[in-house]
């Protein structure tokens, strides 16, 4: 079995400065570490139990299959805060048929970012008998 000690998602943005402004200033992610110099330097952000690394530069758009799924405590509060910061919301918070509350936005390169709230009554929080 593989014993994973840490994990991170790697993104190669088309405009690193614009992406750092989005993730660091607009979303308000905290910086874990930075490395290198210049506009293509690497920045690693905390993502709860993992990390998001922006490093290098891509010549084209990201894969349409890449997504970021970020669990937050209160999606409605995040919605109000992000709107106030000028973040374009693709879809406001909606309680999905599977019981999670989801809000969608996109980073500057179009990578979908889903903010998810797990309500107190959802089975992901508590399953009787387990």
Provide the residue-wise pLDDT of the chain in tens; the chain has 130 residues.
776 767 899 999 999 999 999 999 999 999 999 999 988 899 999 998 899 999 999 998 888 788 999 999 999 999 999 999 999 999 999 999 999 999 999 999 999 999 999 998 888 877 666 6
CA distances 44 to 1, 34, 47, 61, 96, Å, are: 27, 6, 9, 20, 31
Distance CA 116, CA 30 (A): 19
Helix (H, G, I), strand (E, B) or coil at 52: strand
pLDDT for the residue numbered 127: 66
CB 31 within 8 A of CB 42: no
pTM equals 0.85
Pull the structure tokens for residue 66: 């890449």
Pull the structure tokens for residue 81: 């805060």
Antiparallel, parallel or unpaired: β 89-95 and 112-117: unpaired
CB 129 within 8 A of CB 115: no
pLDDT for the residue numbered 89: 97
pLDDT for the residue numbered 72: 93
pLDDT for the residue numbered 3: 67
């Amino acid at each position: 079995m593989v014993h994973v000690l840490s994990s991170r998602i790697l993104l190669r943005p088309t405009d690193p400065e614009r992406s750092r402004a989005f993730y660091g200033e607009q979303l308000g992610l905290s910086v874990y570490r930075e490395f290198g110099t210049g506009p293509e330097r690497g920045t690693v952000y905390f993502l709860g139990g993992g990390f998001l690394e922006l490093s290098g530069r891509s010549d084209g758009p990201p894969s349409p299959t890449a997504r970021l799924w970020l669990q937050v405590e209160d999606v409605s509060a995040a919605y109000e805060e992000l709107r106030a910061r000028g973040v374009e919301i693709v879809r406001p918070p909606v309680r999905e048929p599977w019981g999670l509350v989801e809000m969608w936005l996109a980073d500057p390169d179009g990578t979908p970012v889903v903010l998810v709230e797990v309500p107190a009554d959802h089975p992901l929080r508590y399953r009787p008998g387990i």
